[in-house]
Amino acid sequence: MTLFDRIAARIRSDGPVSVADYMSDCLLHPEFGYYATRDPLGEAGDFITAPEISQMFGELIGLALAQAWMDQGRPARFALAELGPGRGTLLADVLRATRTVPGFAAAAELWLVEASETLRAKQAETLAAYSPRWIATASDLPDLPLFLIANEFFDALPVRQFVRDGDGWRERRVGLTDGRLSFGLAQRQAQPVLNHRLEDTRDGDLVEICPPAGPVVQEITRRIADHGGSALIIDYGDWRSLGNTLQALRSHAPADPLEGPGQADLTAHVDFEALATAACCQHTRLTPQGVFLERLGITDRARALAAGAGDGAQDGIVAAHRRLTHPDEMGNLFKVLGFLPAHAAAPPGLMV
């Protein structure tokens, strides 16, 4: 039995499923889901993320979080948390870079929100020296000051898609045509959650919502509002999404999202406006990743690394700097949104 067989059987008995249900099965099915069955990151996998491109990314983020911690009076105990830590690379770089910040490591409790057993095992190897704890959802985070990072986490959460039809919406669904998975549209319905999108869309436009994102943001920002802290959300997307952004990646190349369910990474762009709207605390301006990293000093860090590296490694450092910051690469597509308590200083690299 494959995941395709299961999804097809479900559609035959209950009818077409939403794009969100399809995405959720593909990514998180406990037996066949994409994240349950593999480590998808790196050259040998399907995609590569910023912390896997260069140590500079995690180092600069670590120092930004440590500065935010100092700006908020160095709480003696806090949760240092990551949503979807992948291989644990980002946190390992954060913890190495902040070793020189007096008191930071001693005050930090490491909390990892991770669904995949395979990746939990990888994180346990990478972060063995720091006694991390694993939890399945953000609602299990402790009630402590929270300094949190989420890089390419929200893009993996399932989205529902709706096509505008007059004053109503038709939900895009996955069904079966001649034994193969195919996209179709449900009957037109009113969708009160999309009322604000009647202002900026026309007939035939497609919009996406990510139902699990709001509750995750609320869990994080309630802790930040109550206990202090800061969160950095980094992902591809924009302030309000328009159009179909569902994408499948297999071996670093675009693939058909309906081909081989569970075999490809499925993502959708993050609608940062929806995250900001769900928050119970203050948020920063949405900032392009390239601008954020430049403000944190990535060019100086790249120069320092290059000065200490052999000839062969220097080209790699220049290429990584370009890839993370250049507007034609990740610099503009990826954005950073920060959350912080009322009246706190914005984390370095961001502005309220």
What's the angle, vertex CA 288, arms to CA 157 and CA 219, rounded to 5? 40
The residue among 58 and 341 lying less far from ligand SAH, judged by its C-beta, is 58
User: Least distance to ligand SAH from the beta carbon of 126, Å?
Assistant: 11
Looking only at residues 22 through 41 of this chain, which bind ligand SAH when binding is defined by CB under 6 A?
Answer: 28, 35, 41
Query: Judged by CB under 6 A, which of 55, 67, 72, 116 binds ligand SAH?
Result: 116
The stretch among 58-66, 108-116, 139-147, 181-189 that binds ligand SAH (CB under 6 A) is 108-116
Q: Give the number of residues in contact with ligand SAH, rule: CB under 6 A.
A: 19
The residue among 176 and 333 lying less far from ligand SAH, judged by its C-beta, is 333
The stretch among 65-73, 82-90, 316-324, 341-349 that binds ligand SAH (CB under 6 A) is 82-90
The residue among 3 and 119 lying less far from ligand SAH, judged by its C-beta, is 119
Tell me the residue ranges of DSSP E strands in 127-228: 133-135, 146-151, 160-165, 168-177, 180-189, 206-209
What's the angle, vertex CA 307, arms to CA 301 and CA 312, rounded to 5? 110
CB atoms within 10 A of CB 13: 7
Looking only at residues 45 through 64 of this chain, which bind ligand SAH when binding is defined by CB under 6 A?
Answer: 49, 51-52
Query: Judged by CB under 6 A, which of 25, 59, 152, 235 binds ligand SAH?
Result: 152
Query: Judged by CB under 6 A, which of 11, 101, 105, 115 binds ligand SAH?
Result: 115
The residue among 17 and 61 lying less far from ligand SAH, judged by its C-beta, is 61
* 119 lies in the binding site for ligand SAH (CB under 6 A): yes
User: Least distance to ligand SAH from the beta carbon of 14, Å?
Assistant: 23
Q: Which one-letter DSSP state was computed for residue 117?
A: H
CB atoms within 10 A of CB 165: 15
* 84 lies in the binding site for ligand SAH (CB under 6 A): yes
Contact criterion met (CB below 8 Å) for 52 and 92: no
Beta-carbon contacts of 164 under 8 Å, excluding residues fewer than 6 positions away, are 197, 198, 201, 202, 203, 204, 205, 206, 207
User: Least distance to ligand SAH from the beta carbon of 188, Å?
Assistant: 30
CB atoms within 10 A of CB 11: 17
The stretch among 9-17, 79-87, 252-260, 341-349 that binds ligand SAH (CB under 6 A) is 79-87
Q: How far apart are CA 21 and CA 28, in angstroms?
A: 10
Q: Are strands 282-283 and 206-209 parallel, antiparallel or unpaired?
A: unpaired
Q: How far apart are CA 16 and CA 186, in angstroms?
A: 9
User: Least distance to ligand SAH from the beta carbon of 41, Å?
Assistant: 6
* 151 lies in the binding site for ligand SAH (CB under 6 A): yes
Beta-carbon contacts of 111 under 8 Å, excluding residues fewer than 6 positions away, are 79, 80, 81, 82, 132, 133, 135, 141, 142
Residues that bind ligand SAH (CB under 6 A): 28, 35, 41, 49, 51-52, 84-86, 90, 113-116, 119, 151-153, 156
